[in-house]
A and B are shown apart, each in its own frame.
Chain A
Amino acid sequence: MKRQLGGHPVDETLTPVEDLELAPPAPSGGPPEQPQAALVPLADRAPPRRWSPARWFWLSLASFVGGALVVEAVDFVAGMFVRDRVLGTIFSVLLGMTLASAICWALVETRRIRRLRAVEPLREEGLRLSRSEDYEGALPWIDRAAAALGDDGGRKALIEKARDRILDTHTDASAMLIFHDTVLVPLDERAYAAIARAARGAALGVSVSPLALLDAALILWRSIRMVREIAEIYGLRPGLAGSMVLMRHLLMSGLYAVGVDVLGNVWIEHLGGRITSFVSTRLAEGVVAAVRVGRLGLLAMEACRPLPFTDRDRPGLMRLREQIVKWEE
């Protein structure tokens, strides 16, 4: 069953991005004690939301912001033309080039993602096996996973290690948990690092860029690059459903960036345009961009993993925050 949402056909079975409850910040007492947590897909947890006035509000706000964005860009270039014809030409060319190259880059990144194998066939079978008390399914699945994942980034060595750990007396469910802990948890670490890099980059870029349109382009480009990096870390790309979720989140991120920028400009003027208000507003925009990119990264991890997260290592922004503020490569 399909429904229309903002011009994108969205599968009813999908969980809208806004509904996904990323893990709440861990209480100070440490992670919950759930050593043998079952593998539960994120999508199983949140029921799909119905149409609501809030939806309409967001949609209209999005269109408003989108419109404002175009108007602002046009105004900026037109303003330059008023100051000086050459300056106007240069800036319009620059703006055009920035947009075009951002789109090209996004296309290149998307193509690199397309080269990887889709995660869906593995994931469905993996989910079934991780609940099975039989014995003969896990190793063939791991063979298939090994073929799909390839050897980049030491994945082959990790898979070999998992194979070595699995004894003939481990049930499929146990074997899948061992695979999860041996192969996916180390890859998760790398993915977190990639997300942190992207979030920092986006925050920095958004803070210094003068134009809302540039903010949006920057976030889009950095996000797509991050999704590609994450997909390459896992060696698998998100399937159709996963891509749709990510795409929607990406578009919303762009709109957020623009909205925050416009609001920020209003705020700066309201505060009298002093340097402190300018800096603080810019920083706030950067933080919003980082959070959006971070959340997209977590969703991309979820979408690219051949097995869903266990309750124990469910990703959260709090965990990401630690990585981001470390500020080191």
Chain B
Amino acid sequence: MKRADSGIGDTLLRSGRRIGGKAAALISAGGEKALATTVTIAVTGLARAGKTVFTTALAHNLSRAAELPDLLPFFSAAKERQILGAALSNRGPEAFPFDAAMKALTGNPADWPRPTTDVSDLSIAVDYATRSKRWRMIAPKTFLTLNIVDYPGEWLLDLLLLNTSFTDWSRETLQLCRQPPRATLAQDWLTALEAADGNRPAAEEDLERLAGLYTAFLRRCSEAGLSFLQPGRFLVPGSLADRTMLEFCPFPVSDAGKPWRGSLAAALEARYERYRREVVRPFYRRYFSRFTRQVVLVDLLTALDRGSEGWSDLQLALTRIVDNFHTERKRVINRLPLIGTRTDKLLFACTKADHITRNNHSNLRALLRSTVEPSAVMVMEGGATVGYEIVSAVKSTKNVQKRQDGRTLHYIRGVPLGSTVAQDWDPGDIPDEPPRAENWPEIRITGFRPPQSFDASVAGFRSINLDRALEFLIGDLFK
């Protein structure tokens, strides 16, 4: 009898323990889940600003932060050994080509990854130990899921079309195209436009020809270093299957009233509206409406190097992008609690900071600020935090100093693109505010090859201010 009793007691005790253990595990798992955060960061930027390299280096360094906290000394979660590990997941049809980019950067010889041609996603789950006492009581560790969305920079300006009618867009684009530097590049297309009669019945070959000329013009502009180029899909179509979607162009709309249905002008407008409805709107809905944090990568240096025309085009593009953020924040839906998403942190990052000498870094930061800030004021007044940083996600040069006639001369040392020997390069002095056209600074920016024989299995990318950018973007999310 006694034995049986103790048997029941043991069983009870054991199952009690098991239930208790499970409950404890459940509670701690629940705590971890309860504290877990997901954030989507859009890495945006105009073409060739270095988005792919930025995303790749950020993902790699973050995933190595647990073993190599030295990599990101100004990212507090890494510095304070809070990060326990990070796992990348980039599966699915729209996966960010992380492996391909890493292969390019770590190959022999190492090279820069290919620019983005379609939209892609990358998700990083960062396990970390909770820091503050309050959170530690709920769970000792939890995780932060970081979704990074990368897409061709050309598409960013398409978002502006959402709030622009065909008439307005045509007027503005044509006005821009009749001025230098576009006037000469647009010559063919403008001539064709003048010859075309908007009241004629629309013919497929007319549409195709005009769109073809307009696309060729956009390509010439892109090669000339201009940035304000719409629509972006004309340059990088991505996975767009239906080519007729891209067969339209701006067209001078007569003041005589709406063109008749079936006319060339009406067909162009209908195509524009369809492009807005079926290409831009879904892209916006799918990716842009859910971001709360954005990085806008800007390549000021190449624009400075290209001269005043390229520069003012970049400035125009930037102003319009920032205005767009502001308009989106003001939309009624985005003001609703719980439903609305509003960008709450916006970081302007000037890339390729390793292309200039370090004594010019503070000037470059000031230049970035004075270029963007006038338009960013509206966004800041709306309550978003705006940050400015100069970055280089993969540092490919070193700073060297030489003494000459009692003066210290600053150079950067790196292997220029297309060469195999390191060279000392003097990129010139960067102004701290946008220069005037008549007094354009002499700046020589050249591309450099990425650091060679980089072993990603043991090391992270050496970078400039990538850690500060991370701190700004996600530093506050670590509990």
Contact = CB atoms under 8 A, between A and B. Distances in A.
B464 A169 contact: yes
Contacts of A223: none
Nearest to B137: A28
Interface string B58-85: 0000000000001001101001000000
Contact of A29 (B132, B395, B399, B476): B132
Contact of A161 (B70, B353, B475): B70
B476 A168 contact: no
Contacts of A168: 358, 398-399
B358 A169 contact: yes
Contacts of B361: 169, 171
B133 A35 contact: no
Interface string B423-464: 000000000000000000000000000000000000000101
Contact of B74 (A31, A33, A36, A164): A36
B395 A169 contact: yes
Nearest to A136: B401
B158 interface: no
Contacts of A167: 395, 462, 464
A30 interface: yes
B121 interface: no
A21 interface: no
B360 to A, nearest CB: 11
B132 A30 contact: yes
Contacts of B70: 161, 164-165, 182
B74 A165 contact: no
Main secondary structure of the interface of A (DSSP, over half): loop
A181 B75 CA distance: 12
A19 interface: no
Interface string B123-161: 000000001111100000000000000000000000000
A167 B73 CA distance: 11
B364 to A, nearest CB: 12
A171 B360 CA distance: 12
B354 interface: yes
Nearest to A33: B476
B359 interface: yes
A31 B359 CA distance: 35
B34 to A, nearest CB: 17
Contacts of B354: 169
B362 interface: yes
Given A167-B464, A168-B398, A168-B399, A174 B74 contact: yes
Interface residues of B, number: 26
Contacts of A31: 131-132
Interface in B291-348: none
A142 B32 CA distance: 41
B403 to A, nearest CB: 12
Nearest to B462: A167
A36 B74 CA distance: 8
Contacts of B358: 135, 168-169
A169 B400 CA distance: 11
A68 interface: no
Contacts of A165: 70, 73
A174 B132 CA distance: 26
A286 B74 CA distance: 42
Nearest to A168: B399
A135 B398 contact: no
Nearest to A164: B70
B152 to A, nearest CB: 29
A269 interface: no
B466 to A, nearest CB: 11
A171 B362 CA distance: 10
B136 to A, nearest CB: 9
Contacts of A135: 358-359, 399
A81 B133 CA distance: 58
A178 interface: yes
Contacts of A29: 132, 134
A161 B395 CA distance: 19
A30 B76 contact: no
A182 B73 CA distance: 9
Interface string A26-41: 0011110101100000
B373 interface: no
Nearest to A161: B70
Nearest to B475: A35
A161 B70 CA distance: 8
Interface in A143-181: 161, 164-165, 167-169, 171, 174, 177-178, 181
A178 B74 CA distance: 8
Nearest to B354: A169
A28 B79 CA distance: 22
Contact of B133 (A30, A36, A171, A177): A30
A18 interface: no
Interface of A: 28-31, 33, 35-36, 133, 135-136, 161, 164-165, 167-169, 171, 174, 177-178, 181-182
> Top 3 closest A-B pairs, CB basis?
A30-B132, A168-B399, A165-B70
12 contacts: A29-B132, A29-B134, A31-B132, A35-B74, A136-B401, A161-B70, A167-B395, A167-B464, A168-B398, A168-B399, A169-B353, A177-B73
